[in-house]
């Protein structure tokens, strides 16, 4: 993890930096905001920024937003002044850390931000074979395409490959191609010169240069526009890039990894993805299985997330009842590991008497799960007489409370109205988290944002990130 500390902190900077170094972080220091911004523009990236409360925290955060530099910010100050903490949070800081620094508190902040563990928890034989394949190809510089449904752990696999590679001590940089608007993604990847476009107030090094010597992950690459795919292909082939507005090519040395939750071969056939780029990326493919195909891992992961969120919420670790476990093992997990994580987070909050019962397991997405095909006309009576029912149909019936869900309440409403309510309910369920909601809904985050913009223009109330959590406090 890369930590950038901004300010002097009256000598406590040395102590805070040493604690972070002892916890495995790479630490850089800037005396003021201007120096910090210069470092970031020059490609000295950071995963977390800690800033002295005596500096203009709001200005720093505003500059990061203006220049589209996405880094979580934590404010630090001498003592435990509540007013300073409130001021920092209102300015946009995610947390306030009092100084002198407490080692455990610094460690907790680093751990909370750095949730990028490369360890896989699995008992599944197929996953173990994939991990062996990942280790086998990690030592080479060949591109790796990691595919699988949303929430299966594609970025975790990418980090695992990086940590097992000879570039492990170098930078790992991840770019979510689905989360950045099309007109800004080119600048994000390749950088830009001052004045290259409106808002380019200074030269900015792109992710290719930032990852030089290390690994660059292009997350959800299938969301990239074909025009930009052509420039990416050239960068991969020639190992050089052109900044937006630049005049000289820049040599780069990176290991390229890419992920996609779509079938890229189908995207090629439909003309949405360049065939030559597909073959450049597809030197090695690792396809992660969905959680529903990893039955042995549900209980293992559930216990892991239970412990994680009990600690995060400062509550004793609750025990999970057999009934609760059966609920988990019978679910289809359309959102995969990410959905299970959210479910266990809710379960910790809903636990009573230090127990997670079936009532605390709030499952979602049943209406989105594939349903068994209805019997053909003229065969229904025969099927019922024979009394035959597939295991899949029995499972679906059990999940739906003994039968298919009643959709009569939807009659008379338009598809657009039903879709709007489903999207807003899912977003509210995810506490306003756009990425999680998009994964559960099975749509790209770009599609989700476009729909939310339309709903907002129509006067609908759009849940903000963390809004539901604040409302409960």
Read off the pLDDT of residues 141-166 as tens digits, 9 standing for 90 and up.
999 999 999 889 999 999 999 989 99
DSSP 352: B
Distances (CA, A) of 37 to 62, 164, 172, 188, 236: 11, 32, 20, 16, 29
Give the burial class of 349: count Cβ atoms within 10 A of its Cβ; 0-12 exposed, 13-18 middle, 19 or more buried. middle
Judgement on whether residues 71 and 181 belong to the same structural domain of the protein:
no
Q: Is residue 271 part of a domain?
A: yes
Q: Is residue 29 part of a domain?
A: yes
Q: Is residue 419 part of a domain?
A: no
Between the CA atoms of 384, 387, 393 and 396, what dihedral angle is there, to the nearest 10 degrees? 90
pLDDT band at 83 (very low <50, low <70, confident <90, very high): confident
CATH of the domain at 74: 3.40.50.2300
pLDDT at residue 366 is higher than 70: no
pLDDT at residue 443 is higher than 50: yes
Distance CA 214, CA 359 (A): 47
The residues, any chain, with a CB within 8 Å of residue 460's CB and separated by 6 or more, are: 420, 424
Judgement on whether residues 358 and 250 belong to the same structural domain of the protein:
no
If one counts the domains in the chain, the total is: 3
Judgement on whether residues 295 and 341 belong to the same structural domain of the protein:
yes
pLDDT at residue 229 is higher than 80: yes
Judgement on whether residues 164 and 275 belong to the same structural domain of the protein:
yes
Q: What domain range is 10 assigned to?
A: 2-113
Distance CA 417, CA 439 (A): 20
Where a domain ends, among 254, 287, 320?
A: 287
Judgement on whether residues 188 and 69 belong to the same structural domain of the protein:
no
Judgement on whether residues 98 and 147 belong to the same structural domain of the protein:
no
Residue 323, Cβ neighbours under 10 Å: how many?
12
Provide mean pLDDT across the span 108-123: 66
Judgement on whether residues 276 and 131 belong to the same structural domain of the protein:
yes
* pTM exceeds 0.85 for this model: no
Tens digit of each residue's pLDDT (9 = 90 or more) over 236-249: 999 999 998 888 89
Tens digit of each residue's pLDDT (9 = 90 or more) over 5-25: 888 766 676 677 777 777 777
Q: Determine contact, residues 462/427, Cβ cutoff 8 Å.
A: yes
Judgement on whether residues 134 and 282 belong to the same structural domain of the protein:
yes
Judgement on whether residues 151 and 242 belong to the same structural domain of the protein:
yes
Tell how many helices (H) and how many strands (E) occur in the chain: 21, 14
pLDDT at residue 431 is higher than 90: no
pLDDT on residue 302 = 95
pLDDT at residue 395 is higher than 60: no
Distances (CA, A) of 148 to 117, 152, 337: 19, 6, 12
Judgement on whether residues 192 and 241 belong to the same structural domain of the protein:
yes
């Amino acid at each position: 993890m890369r930590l950038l500390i901004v300010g002097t902190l009256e000598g406590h900077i040395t102590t805070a930096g040493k604690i972070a170094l002892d916890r495995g972080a790479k630490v850089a220091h800037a005396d003021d905001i201007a120096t910090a911004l210069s470092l970031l523009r020059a490609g000295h990236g950071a995963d977390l920024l800690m800033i002295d409360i005596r500096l203009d925290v709001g200005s720093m955060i505003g500059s990061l937003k203006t220049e589209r530099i996405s880094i979580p910010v934590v404010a630090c100050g001498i003592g435990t002044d509540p007013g300073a903490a409130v001021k920092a949070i209102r300015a946009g800081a995610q947390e306030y850390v009092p100084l002198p620094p407490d080692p455990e508190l610094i460690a907790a902040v680093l751990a909370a931000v750095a949730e990028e563990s490369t360890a896989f928890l699995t008992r599944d034989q197929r996953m173990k074979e994939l991990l062996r394949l990942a280790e086998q190809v990690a030592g080479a510089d060949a591109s790796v395409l990691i595919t699988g449904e949303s929430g299966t752990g594609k970025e975790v696999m990418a980090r695992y490959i990086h940590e097992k590679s000879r570039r492990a001590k170098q930078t790992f940089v991840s770019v979510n191609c689905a989360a950045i608007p099309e007109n800004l993604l080119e600048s994000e990847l390749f950088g830009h010169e001052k004045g290259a476009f409106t808002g380019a107030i200074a030269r900015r090094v792109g992710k290719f240069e930032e990852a030089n010597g290390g690994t660059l992950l292009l997350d959800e690459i299938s969301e990239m526009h074909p025009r930009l795919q052509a420039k990416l292909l050239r960068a991969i082939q020639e190992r050089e890039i052109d900044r937006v507005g630049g005049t000289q090519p820049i040599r780069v040395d990176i290991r390229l990894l890419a992920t996609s939750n779509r079938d890229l071969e189908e995207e090629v056939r439909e003309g949405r993805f360049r065939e030559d780029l597909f073959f450049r990326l597809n030197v090695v493919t690792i396809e992660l299985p969905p959680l529903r195909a990893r039955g042995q891992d549900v209980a293992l992961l559930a216990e892991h997330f239970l412990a994680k969120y009990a600690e995060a919420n400062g509550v004793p670790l609750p025990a999970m009842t057999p009934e609760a476990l059966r609920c988990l093992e019978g679910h289809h997990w359309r959102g995969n590991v990410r959905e299970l994580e959210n479910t266990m987070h809710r379960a910790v909050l809903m636990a009573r008497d230090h127990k997670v019962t079936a009532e605390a397991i709030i499952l979602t997405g049943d209406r989105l799960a594939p349903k068994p095909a209805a019997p053909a006309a003229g065969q229904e009576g025969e099927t019922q007489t024979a009394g035959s029912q597939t295991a899949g149909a029995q499972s679906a019936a059990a999940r739906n409370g003994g039968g298919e869900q009643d959709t009569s309440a939807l009659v008379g409403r338009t598809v657009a109205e039903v879709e709007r309510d489903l999207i807003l309910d899912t977003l509210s369920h995810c506490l306003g988290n756009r990425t999680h909601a998009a994964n559960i809904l099975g749509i790209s985050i770009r599609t989700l944002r476009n729909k939310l913009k339309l709903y907002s223009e129509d006067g609908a109330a759009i849940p903000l990130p963390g809004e539901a959590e604040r409302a409960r406090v």
